[in-house]
A and B are shown apart, each in its own frame.
Chain A
Amino acid sequence: MPKITIDDKTYDVAEGKTVLKVCLEQNIPVPYFCYHPRLSIAGNCRMCMVEIEGRPKLEISCNTLVQDGMVVRTTTPKAIEARKSVLEFILINHPLDCPICDQAGECDLQDQYFQFSAVPYRFREEKVHKPKAVPLGPLVMLDDERCIVCTRCVRFCDEVAKTHELGVAERGDHSTIVTFANEGMKNAYSLNTVDICPVGALTNRDFRFNKRVWFLKNTPSICAGCATGCNIWMDHQGDVIYRYRPRDNEAVNQSWMCDEGRLTYKFVNAPDRITSPYAQEAGGGWARLTWDAALKRLNAAFAKVPPAERGIVLSAQCSNEENTAWSRLASEQWKTSLLFGTWRQPSNPTQDNILRHADKNPNTRCLQELKCHREYTGGARLLIVLDTLTPEEATVVEKERPEFVVVLATNWGTDQDAVRWRPIARGLPISGGSCFPWADLVLPLATFAEQAGTFTNAKGMAQRFERAFPPKGEALPAWSIAEKVAGQ
């Protein structure tokens, strides 16, 4: 193992590592822009230069492999001066429009200027002007004047998305980021380029201008968009989610997530959230009622149906904790064998061999492990449904007409396939959304953002998500509802 000395401290490091990697592992502050641990080395930003004994020039640490006996210094006047000058060069043509830039507050350039330079501005000339607000694709907007040509986004498309959609056109300080033949960046992972852009050149069209990032709280969570279970940061202010960003997990999603998953946060904020219990009236409308009243109605129904004839449909959209609570209620208290599971099954699910999984449920694995029947096929006199039913299952319920049906749901209109149930919207918080015509009682279910729990992904890994904020209105996690029901 090579021994290497950095700033007078000696480290034993593995062969084949770069000096920058060692510095980062040892928390030695070496700044960089173009380097990204998951992309090839470009060596173009010149920010990570260090002094190496015996070498006449400063070397970029990102492309210098460690050698036994190497003596590296990161804080010599020469190295410090070089960083300052690189930052000065970067900033001469940068628009310095931080007050209106979405990246402000999480901008590497802003941070590094404060940390490593903070020298006055010497540039008296006219800046180079380049295209602004260029839609690079359906989800990504480019401000070329802010671009520092680090080529992270280009390398991402080449090496991760493997679509080769981006490139640099023109030369020198007129360089611009372009898409191949101006066809746009349409890959399924395009928003990752926004994450890795060290400045505000690439912004997320879904997020830009919506919120200054320093107002956002970041809660570690799991994307519920498919069975891959990408680790995410859920960025929210209060109970409004503004965006998801990938959270590093070598075993699952490395540093990435798909665009589709990234936009799945919207149902949590949606105006059609179910925030209190509702009961269907004889005439077809819905009436809002209190939890007490709802539980009373449920109790009355229980009185008529013996436990063994009560059915429960678990959901691959709900957490392990939620499903397990209901499954135990079924097996231990009611001793019913009528335990089913439902999956959301879009007709043409997207998939690829990068991250997107064809199973669009975050917790299908849980249902497999709880050994419930794959879908609701009938037989229950009283039915409790978590989340919602597929159209096929709903048809079974329609035909069979159980005596009492309870749905625990987050939204009135989340399930695209349920649109055909075009409802009697009277009494609902939204107009014209779909609902549950086959249900007698609808209970407000908390989303995964509003509770802690775990999802087990397709690889069988149980992954924890944290509670970002309390449930909206009177919604409760399904396990909490199970507890209330069990106590009746």
Chain B
Amino acid sequence: MEPILTKNWGKPNSRKLVTYVESGGYGSLKKLFQMSPAQVIDEVKASGLRGRGGAGFPAGVKWGFVPKNTGKPVYLVVNADESEPGTFKDRAIFENDPHMLIEGIICACYALSSHVCYVYIRGEFFLQWEIFEAALQEARSNGLLGTNIKGSGFDLEIHTHRGAGAYICGEETALLESLEGKRGLPRIKPPFPAVKGAFGCPTTVNNVETIASVPWIIEHGAKAYAAIGVGKSTGTKLWSVCGHVNRPGVYEIPLGFPFRTFLQEYCGGVWKGRKLKAVIVGGSSVPVLTANEAMQVNLDYESLQAAGTLLGSGGMIVLDETTCMVAALDNLSDFYHHESCGQCTPCREGTGWVEKIMNRVDQGHGLTEDLGLLLDLADNMQGRTICTFADALAMPVRSFVQRFRSEFEEHIKLGRCPFAGPEWM
């Protein structure tokens, strides 16, 4: 497979404009400016590119929602608030190839007739922000940003905005609130950002990886992109792999790639010769898969959904046989309790309740009825809030308890953890 997103990774000075241009970077612009914005949107629609931030919504369709001629400016906001535990693919894009993102932003903004783009970078990504700012500076001084880009008559400026450390600001409307200088609370929809987004103007919010995929589509055509992958899951996807594998890291594979092969060939298999116990495939918020389920699944949107989980952001956490699933869920519930914005009742109260029950079960004070209660709480949280944050805890709770119920029961029965102790926490 020809890499799309990672083709320059590992080259010396891969962050530099000169390296990027040498390998054909910014090559899409010539073709881009010969197309009309509507043609660009159609091309991206035809490519089947789906949002890589987690929801998997077709990017071209999303762009098509932005109303034309409202008299207001249109904004592109790039969501670089990558905070999902287990996910570090966008970070790798910043570190290895920031110009690919800039080129993607130029393509997307041209398609949206947007002249201002905000890149909202996770606050902890200081190094990545510095790298990106340096790349922006290079792009500006080489006429790739600013007025009349490469003689096309198209103007574009990119501003970066650093987050202040809240996970919820990765939710697109909370991100917009934060960008506007307010508390990062998700907005009730409608109105959707396409109609009323940043500063009350039509806005598209896209993930870093989504945008970085666009130049290749423009340059090579939608057909070539759609030929990669399987069914409605076209193109390649970055997977950030962590946990109990021999070679953790970020890998690019075509969608539809079998997990079994991926684990062996890319990640070097489960570490220390141990057996696989479970896999969280798409970032900490998606339902966990047992080893059996994982070994049979292909890594694309539809296959994963059929297996009872989600592709999410592609943040893969591999757990070996020594992992205590109770401790793992306790850890996750700590995180989601800590990060709930507190707006909606089910999430504000539910995350804390789940965390307290999980702390208790993990410490050996669990009760038999706790498991039923946990499943009830998951049902009562999911789908009943402004954003999907509550779902992000409900899904792990339900899948951990259902798929590893015997481990939970053993904890409750023994009054202690039967495992020696997880090594990864």
From A41, A126, A148, A171, residue with most partner B Cβ within 10 Å? A171
- A125 touching B346 by the CB < 8 A rule? no
Q: A85-B346, A149-B348, A173-B342 are in contact. Are A46 and B188 (CB under 8 A)?
A: no
Partner of A172, one of B190, B338, B380: B338
Partner of B339, one of A57, A60, A123, A171: A171
Cα(A60)–Cα(B348), bound, Å: 17
- Give B189's nearest chain A residue, CB to CB: A63
Q: Which residues from chain B contact A63 at a C-beta distance below 8 Å? A: 188, 190
Cα(A479)–Cα(B373), bound, Å: 69
- B384 touching A82 by the CB < 8 A rule? yes
- B337 touching A172 by the CB < 8 A rule? yes
Partner of B349, one of A47, A58, A173: A173
Interface check B3, CB cutoff 8 A: no
- B346 touching A172 by the CB < 8 A rule? no
- B357 touching A45 by the CB < 8 A rule? no
Chain A stretch 36-73: residues in CB contact (< 8 A) with chain B:
41-47, 49, 56-58, 60, 63
- A90 touching B340 by the CB < 8 A rule? no
- A90 touching B188 by the CB < 8 A rule? no
Partner of B385, one of A46, A124, A175: A46
Chain A stretch 80-102: residues in CB contact (< 8 A) with chain B:
82, 85-86, 88-90, 92-93
- A174 touching B342 by the CB < 8 A rule? yes
Q: Which residues from chain B contact A168 at a C-beta distance below 8 Å? A: 183, 342
Cα(A92)–Cα(B356), bound, Å: 12
Interface check B123, CB cutoff 8 A: no
Interface check B227, CB cutoff 8 A: no
Interface check B341, CB cutoff 8 A: yes
Interface check A9, CB cutoff 8 A: no
- Give A174's nearest chain B residue, CB to CB: B342
- B340 touching A172 by the CB < 8 A rule? yes
Chain A stretch 416-458: residues in CB contact (< 8 A) with chain B:
none
- A125 touching B342 by the CB < 8 A rule? no
Interface check A134, CB cutoff 8 A: no
Cα(A41)–Cα(B386), bound, Å: 12
- B351 touching A173 by the CB < 8 A rule? yes
Cα(A58)–Cα(B386), bound, Å: 11
From A49, A85, A86, residue with most partner B Cβ within 10 Å? A85
Q: A41-B188, A46-B384, A49-B384 are in contact. Are A86 and B348 (CB under 8 A)?
A: no
- A122 touching B373 by the CB < 8 A rule? yes
Cα(A93)–Cα(B348), bound, Å: 10
Cα(A371)–Cα(B350), bound, Å: 67
Partner of B353, one of A49, A92, A174, A175: A92
Cα(A173)–Cα(B348), bound, Å: 5
Q: A46-B384, A46-B385, A122-B373 are in contact. Are A172 and B351 (CB under 8 A)?
A: yes
Partner of A86, one of B183, B345, B356, B360: B345
Contact with B along A329-347 (1 / 0, CB 8 A): 0000000000000000000
Interface check B328, CB cutoff 8 A: no
Interface check A128, CB cutoff 8 A: yes
Interface check B297, CB cutoff 8 A: no
Q: A168-B183, A172-B337 are in contact. Are A93 and B342 (CB under 8 A)?
A: no
- Give A86's nearest chain B residue, CB to CB: B345
From B344, B383, B386, residue with most partner A Cβ within 10 Å? B344
In the complex, 15 of the A-B residue pairs with CB atoms within 8 angstroms, ordered by the A residue number, are A44-B343, A44-B344, A57-B383, A58-B383, A58-B384, A86-B346, A89-B353, A90-B345, A93-B352, A171-B166, A171-B342, A172-B351, A172-B352, A173-B337, A173-B351
Q: A89-B345, A89-B348 are in contact. List 17 more A-B contacts (CB 8 A).
A: A42-B188, A43-B188, A46-B344, A57-B383, A57-B384, A63-B190, A88-B380, A89-B353, A89-B380, A125-B356, A168-B183, A168-B342, A171-B340, A171-B342, A172-B337, A173-B351, A175-B342
Tell me the B residues contacting A by CB distance below 8 Å. Answer: 166, 183, 188, 190, 337-346, 348-353, 356-357, 360, 367, 373, 380, 383-386
Tell me the A residues contacting B by CB distance below 8 Å. Answer: 41-47, 49, 56-58, 60, 63, 82, 85-86, 88-90, 92-93, 122-126, 128, 148-149, 167-168, 170-175
